Amino acid sequence: MLLAVDVGNTQTHVGAFAGAELIGDWRLATRGDSTADELALAIAGSLDFRDLDRGSVEGLILSTVVPRLAPEYERLCSHHIEVPFLPVGPAARTGMPILIDNPHELGSDRLVNAVASYDRVGGRCLSVDFGTSINVDAVSADGEYLGGVIAPGLEISIDALSSRAAKLPRFQLARPEQAIGRNTQTALQSGFAYGFAGLVDGVVARMREELGEDATVIATGGMATTIAPLCETIDEVDPHLTLTGLRLIWERNR
């Protein structure tokens, strides 16, 4: 069993694979000060809860946007579960040329999504990740990472608005029944849902002009199921896209 771990700024998504099959996945709150011991307890507890055999773990592959946690996951592997550890970074073989000015500044989560999207489509594609930020990443017909767009995410935008506007309440984002809100909460829900859907459609349309109109667009991330149905440019939603990309990179490094 392979453990694939995607550490985001807000949440950590963990998947367990048996071969190519995802047999379980769960989300944990990301804490930047977590120790290897705490991570071991959290992951072991999740495996037990899902009745998965901890002793069958063959390795762990990590993508993280929180650099401080990388050595803690490495210690988790060496001290607790005693399995090989592979961080996605410059030394990892991804099978994807990176054609940007400085490949070392590319976030591992963006690269992993690009790898998974191209493996799924086999041609021009864009991955849209609805996370702490909204990342849209482009892959050429030949499987080259070309670059992308980074925009503010929904949750941090909601936090910013509620903290700066005293009369606007914190609200739960949901798909609105109509565009015209009848009260403050539904007006906020409509503004964020349709506003960010428009942002994604506008960005994707411009990127398709440069990449090719036939580029397939795949969405992932925690907010994808809420926003993607309101978008006109998204072709597919895959909540496990990043985990799949991690599995593919693991296989390419064996």
The edge-to-edge listing of strands for the beta sheet with 216-220 is 145-152, 133-139, 125-130, 216-220, 236-237
Token output for 69 = 């946690």
Distance in angstroms (rounded) separating the CA atoms of residues 19 and 91: 23
Distance in angstroms (rounded) separating the CA atoms of residues 5 and 94: 16
- Of the listed 33, 53, 101, 109, which one is catalytic? 109
**Quick one: which of 150, 149, 144 has its CA closest to 99?**
144
Token output for 49 = 């809860």
Task: State yes or no: is 33 an active-site residue.
Answer: no
> ∠ at Cα 22 (19, 23), nearest 5°?
100
Contact between 152 and 133 under an 8 Å Cβ cutoff? The reply is: yes
Active-site positions read 109
